[in-house]
Amino acid sequence: MRTQFMFLFISLLILKSESLNCNENNPQGHPSDLRVFHINSPCSPFKHQTSVSWESTLLQDKARFQYLSSLAVARKSSVPIASGRGIVQSPTYVVRANIGTPAQVMLVALDTSNDAAWIPCSGCVGCASSVLFDPSKSNSSRTLQCGAPQCKQAPNPTCTVGNTCGFNMTYGGSTIEASLTQDTLTLATDVVPNYTFGCINKATGTSLPAQGLMGLGRGPLSLISQTQGLYMSTFSYCLPNSKSNNFSGSLRLGPKNQPIRIKTTPLLKNPRRSSLYYVNLVGIRVGNKIVDIPTSALAFDPATGAGTIFDSGTVFTRLVEPAYVAVRNEFRRRVKNANATSLGGFDTCYSGSVVFPSVTFMFAGMNVTLPPDNLLIHSSSGSTSCLAMAAAPNNVNSVLNVIASMQQQNHRVLIDLPNSRLGISRETCT
C-alpha cells in the first residue's frame, strides 16, 4: 500500500511558458481584478520541481488545522503557535502586488484567516527569498512611530531604538520580527496610499511564504479594513484547480462586477477572533439523505471557537470527528458493490469504476452541492479515487470545521462585510 501511495500525486496542468502572460492582471477585464496563481502554476517561481504527494499535503493541512484551531480560541492579545510541521512550506495561492514608488513587485500569499501583511525586506536575517523589498529605494516609504494608532493594532507590538514601532509573531513553525511600515500599494490599477504592513527584519523557520503574505481577514490591519473607502469591505475570489488555464484564478476587490445571482449565507462573528469567516453549517446531505450529525458538532459557539469557517490556506476540508464519521459512513453505504480502502491518509478510497453519491453542504439559507472535482481526488493512474475530506487530527482537541480550498475551487466565494454575508456561485476560474 505504501508503494501504491507513492503514485498518488497532485496532477498539474503543464503549459509551455512562452504561451503564458504571467504579468497580466485584470484577468477578466475588471479594473480591480488580480490574477491568482497556485504555487504549481507555470507562472509561479515557487513551483515544486518534483511531484508532491497527497500525504505531504495532508500533513501540512494538519499543521494548518492546528493553527486555525488555536486562532479560534485565542484572545486578541495572544499569539497562537502551531506545533509540528509548518503550515505551508510555500504559499498555496499568490497574487502580484506592487509596493513602493517606484513599484517593486512581490508575489504575496493570500490568507483569508490572517490580518496583518508582511514582506521580507532588504537586510533581513534568515529570510529565504532572493526577492526582498528595499524601502530605501521607495520615496513613499516610512516607518511608523510607537505613538501611531496602527502600532497598537499590530501583533505583539514593541518600541525599538528611535521610537519606531515593531512587532513579532509566529506563523507555523516560523517566527518573524518586523518594523511597522507604510508605503504605496498598487493592486491591478488601484493605488492604495499609506498601506501599513510589516517589513521583516529577522525570520526563523521554513514555513513563511517566500515573498510575504497579504491578510484578507477582517481585523484592523487587513487589506479589507485598510481599504474600506476604496473596496467597501467587499471582495471575492475564485481559486483554480489544475484544469484551469495557467492554474490561475482571480481576486476581485470591491462591490463592482460581483455576481448578482449568488446564493448567500450570513457571516457570524467570534469576538475572540473576529478575523475568521464563520458561517452556520446546519447539515450535510449525502445523496438524498441528510446525515445524522450531533448538533454540537456543527454548532457555533464563540466561547469555545466552535463552528465552521471558510479558509483559503487549508487544502482538504476537515470536519470534527463526529461529523466526519457520519458523512464518511453514509458515503460508504451508498457506494454499491465496493469496499472502501485507505490510501495516503484518506480512509474512503475505491478502485475501478464506481458510482459515487453527491455531497451537499447545507448552510443557513444556502446549499452547496460539490461537483466531482471538488469531492474526489484521484491517483495519477486514475484507477483509485478517494473522498477528499478528513477528520480533525487526533491530537487536536478541535471544535472547528474548515471548508478548505479544494472544495472551494471553481467557485466564486464572495465576502460582503457591509451586508454580513458570504456567497458562493459556480464559476470556471481562469
Question: pLDDT for 157-180, tens place per residue?
Answer: 999 878 999 999 988 778 999 999
Decide: helix, strand or coil at residue 165: strand
Q: Are residues 292 and 413 in the same domain?
A: yes
Q: Give the Cα separation of 269 and 11 in Å (integer).
A: 37
Q: pTM of this prediction? A: 0.85
Give the start-end residues of each E strand in 52-141: 93-99, 104-111, 118-125
Only one residue has cell 502580484, namely 96
Question: pLDDT for 255-304, tens place per residue?
Answer: 999 998 899 999 999 988 888 999 999 999 999 999 999 999 999 999 88
Q: Give the Cα separation of 103 and 218 in Å (integer).
A: 26
Let me know if 311 is a catalytic residue.
yes
Q: With bands split at pLDDT 50, 70 and 90, how would you rate the model's confidence at 89?
A: very low
Give the start-end residues of each E strand in 172-262: 174-187, 190-204, 213-215, 234-238, 248-253
Grid cell of 233 as nine digits: 469591505
What type of residue sits at position 69? S
Q: Give the Cα separation of 259 and 399 in Å (integer).
A: 32
pLDDT of residue 45: 63
**Is there a domain that residue 28 lies in?**
no
Q: Which of 61, 115, 311, 416 is catalytic?
A: 311
Q: Are residues 130 and 225 in the same domain?
A: yes
Residue-number span of the structural domain to which 52 is assigned: 34-70+87-251
Instruction: Output the average pLDDT for the chain.
Output: 83
CATH no. for residue 274?
2.40.70.10
CB-count burial class (<10 Å; 0-12, 13-18, 19+) for 102 = exposed
Answer whether residue 375 shows pLDDT above 90.
yes
Let me know if 111 is a catalytic residue.
yes
Give the start-end residues of each E strand in 227-297: 234-238, 248-253, 263-268, 277-279, 281-286, 289-290
Q: Are residues 200 and 263 in the same domain?
A: no
- Residues sharing a CB contact under 8 Å with residue 42, sequence separation 6 or more, in sequence order: 14, 15, 17, 20, 22, 246, 247
Q: Which of 33, 111, 115, 183 is catalytic?
A: 111
**Is there a domain that residue 9 lies in?**
no
Q: Are residues 169 and 229 in the same domain?
A: yes
More confident residue, 68 or 58: 68
Q: Are residues 264 and 404 in the same domain?
A: yes
- Rounded to an integer, the average pLDDT of 365-386 is 90
Q: How many structural domains is the chain composed of?
A: 2
At which of 201, 219, 251 does a domain end? 251
Q: Are residues 244 and 324 in the same domain?
A: no
Q: Are residues 131 and 274 in the same domain?
A: no
